[in-house]
């Protein structure tokens, strides 16, 4: 294959448009050709590195990997299961203890769990507010008398 066709294939390769057959042609060309022009020398290094990497083996085997013995692995699994059961049981117990204690009101920042006590304290607080409101509006009765007099004056004019 001549150099012009190789350059065309390299352009297609850099754009990602080559087929596997064309890539094999490029790989074969760079493997067999010793004198490559400087402008495509980068491609020779690239394809040679691909070939070298493909030919290497990692040397890693399963025996090199540390395997935990079955007995220890079973202990780890059982410990995880026991921890999960304890966690779920704890959540269940905490949730049940909170259901028994319904908070009806807060008095001085403390929760009140007795329903009747909460009702009585609420009534007492509302009565206190009502009496203070009635005491404050008592003076407004004088304004009503002033309004009546004003209306009489307006009618007489």
Q: What per-residue confidence (pLDDT) applies to 49? A: 80
- Domain identity same for 117 and 142: yes
Q: How far apart are CA 58 and CA 6, in angstroms?
A: 32
Number of domains in the chain: 3
Give residue 98's pLDDT band: very low, low, confident or very high (50, 70, 90).
Answer: low
Average pLDDT value for residue range 92-103: 73
* Beta pairing partners, 107: 110
Average pLDDT value for residue range 105-128: 90
Average pLDDT value for residue range 45-59: 68
- Domain identity same for 79 and 109: no
Q: Which residues constitute the domain of residue 90?
A: 64-100
* pLDDT above 90: residue 137: no
Give residue 150's pLDDT band: very low, low, confident or very high (50, 70, 90).
Answer: confident
- Domain identity same for 150 and 116: yes
* pLDDT above 70: residue 62: no
3-state secondary structure of 153: helix
What predicted TM-score, i.e. pTM, was given to this entire model?
Answer: 0.35
Q: How far apart are CA 95 and CA 104, in angstroms?
A: 18
The pLDDT > 90 percentage for the chain reads 15
- Domain identity same for 95 and 118: no
E strands, the chain, where? Answer: 105-107, 110-112
- Domain identity same for 114 and 139: yes
């Amino acid at each position: 294959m001549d150099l012009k066709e190789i350059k065309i294939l390299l352009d297609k390769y850099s754009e990602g448009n080559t087929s596997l057959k064309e890539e094999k042609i490029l790989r074969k060309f760079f493997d067999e050709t010793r004198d490559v022009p400087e402008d495509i020398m980068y491609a020779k290094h690239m394809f040679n590195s691909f070939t070298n990497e493909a030919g290497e083996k990692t040397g890693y085997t399963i025996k090199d990997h540390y395997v935990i013995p079955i007995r220890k692995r079973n202990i780890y699994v059982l410990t995880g299961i026991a921890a999960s059961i304890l966690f779920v049981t704890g959540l269940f117990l905490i949730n049940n203890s909170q259901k028994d204690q319904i908070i009806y009101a807060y008095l001085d920042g403390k929760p009140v769990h007795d329903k009747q006590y909460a009702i009585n304290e609420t009534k007492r607080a509302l009565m206190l507010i009502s009496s203070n409101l009635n005491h404050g509006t008592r003076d407004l009765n004088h304004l009503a008398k002033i309004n009546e007099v004003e209306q009489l004056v307006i009618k007489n004019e």
